[in-house]
Amino acid sequence: MFITWTENLSVANGAIDQDHKHLIGIINRLHDAIASGCGATIVGETLAELADYTGAHFAREEFLMDRFQYPEAAQHRREHAGLIDQLSVIVDQFEKAGAVEVTGDTMDFLKVWMVNHIQKVDCRLGSFLRQRGGAD
Ligand SMILES: [Fe+2]
Ligand SMILES: [Fe+2]
């Protein structure tokens, strides 16, 4: 398994944890599709699914930040916007050049970004929501 969800990745919010498990599942499928040398179609479809789900997940977190007036929302949103930009570069490169452009480095970048963001940034949001009674 490329990324394994464990309690180390829990942000103490059931809904956000579910989203993260789903996101990690998509990244793992993308990793497997690339590693097995599958055709470009499945890689392209999985990349599109990752971009869509990431956008939807970030929107759900941002909705909660607004609803509970999260003081660190601006910085958190900037991190989200940065990854959305990176994902669109990855999708563009893939569409221009095919599956070869989704490299091991790209997958490592996604893994490190996701794990760091969950543990350092989303965890703070989860704790805040729990204190405000907005968990789950
Ligand atoms: Fe986040
Ligand atoms: Fe998140």
CATH code for the domain in which residue 110 is found: 1.20.120.50
Give residue 99's pLDDT: 64
Q: Which two tokens stand for residue 50?
A: 């990752």
| Nearest ligand (C-alpha, residue 20) | 2
| In a domain? residue 3 | no
| In a domain? residue 136 | no
Give residue 84's pLDDT: 98
Residue 68 makes CB contacts below 8 A (sequence gap 6+) with 128, 129, 132, 134
Give residue 74's pLDDT: 98
Give residue 136's pLDDT: 55
Looking at the 3D structure of the chain, how many domains does it have?
Answer: 1
| In a domain? residue 125 | yes
Residue 23 makes CB contacts below 8 A (sequence gap 6+) with 50, 53, 54, 57, 114
| In a domain? residue 2 | no
Give residue 73's pLDDT: 98
Give residue 102's pLDDT: 84
**Dist. CA 115 → ligand 1 center (Å):** 11
Q: 45: closest CA among 21, 22, 23, 29?
A: 29
**Dist. CA 107 → ligand 1 center (Å):** 19
Q: Give the residue numbers spanning the domain of 85.
A: 8-131
| In a domain? residue 15 | yes
H helix intervals, the chain: 14-35, 40-67, 73-97, 104-116, 123-131
| In a domain? residue 51 | yes
| In a domain? residue 1 | no
**Dist. CA 91 → ligand 1 center (Å):** 21
| Nearest ligand (C-alpha, residue 80) | 1
Environment class of residue 109 by beta-carbon count within 10 Å: exposed (0-12), middle (13-18) or buried (19+)?
A: middle
- pLDDT profile of the chain (136 residues), mean per 10: 96 96 97 84 93 98 96 98 96 82 90 98 96 71
Give residue 31's pLDDT: 94
| In a domain? residue 70 | yes
Q: Which two tokens stand for residue 135?
A: 């968990």
